[in-house]
Copies of this chain bind each other. A is one copy, B any other.
Amino acid sequence: MRVDNRAPDELRPLIITRHFTKYAAGSVLVQAGNTKVICTASIEESVPPHVKNTGEGWITAEYSLLPSSTSVRVPRESTRGKVGGRTHEIQRLIGRSLRSIIDLAVLKERTIWVDCDVIQADGGTRTAAITGSYVALMDAVQGLKNKDLIKEDPVLNSIAAVSVGIVNGVVLLDLCYAEDAAAQVDMNIVMTGDGKFIELQGTGEEYTFDDEQLAEMLKMAKKGICEITEIQKKVLEL
A198 near B192 (CB under 8 angstroms)? no
Closest chain B CB from A57 CB (angstroms): 13
Q: Report the nearest B residue to A222, measured CB to CB.
A: B211
> CA separation between A91 and B88, bound complex, in Å?
12
List B contacts of A77 (CB < 8 A). 78
B64 near A204 (CB under 8 angstroms)? no
B100 near A92 (CB under 8 angstroms)? no
A67 near B115 (CB under 8 angstroms)? yes
List B contacts of A27 (CB < 8 A). 68
The residue that A68 contacts in the complex, of B67, B82, B115, B211, with Cβ under 8 A, is: B115
The residue that A89 contacts in the complex, of B36, B67, B85, B195, with Cβ under 8 A, is: B85
Which of A5-13, A17-25, A124-132, A167-175 contacts its partner? A17-25
The residue that A73 contacts in the complex, of B42, B99, B205, B211, with Cβ under 8 A, is: B42
Q: Any chain B CB within 8 A of the CB of A53?
A: no
Interface size on A, residues (CB 8 A): 67
**Restricting to A39-89, which residues have a CB under 8 Å from any CB of B?**
40, 42, 44, 62, 64, 66-71, 73, 76-89
> CA separation between A204 and B201, bound complex, in Å?
12
Which chain A residues have a beta carbon within 8 Å of chain B's beta carbons?
Answer: 21-24, 27, 34, 36, 38, 40, 42, 44, 62, 64, 66-71, 73, 76-89, 91-92, 96, 99-100, 113, 115, 117, 119-121, 157, 191-192, 195-211, 214, 218
Known: A66-B115, A84-B88. 8 other contacts (CB 8 A): A62-B76, A67-B113, A68-B113, A83-B85, A88-B89, A197-B204, A197-B209, A197-B214
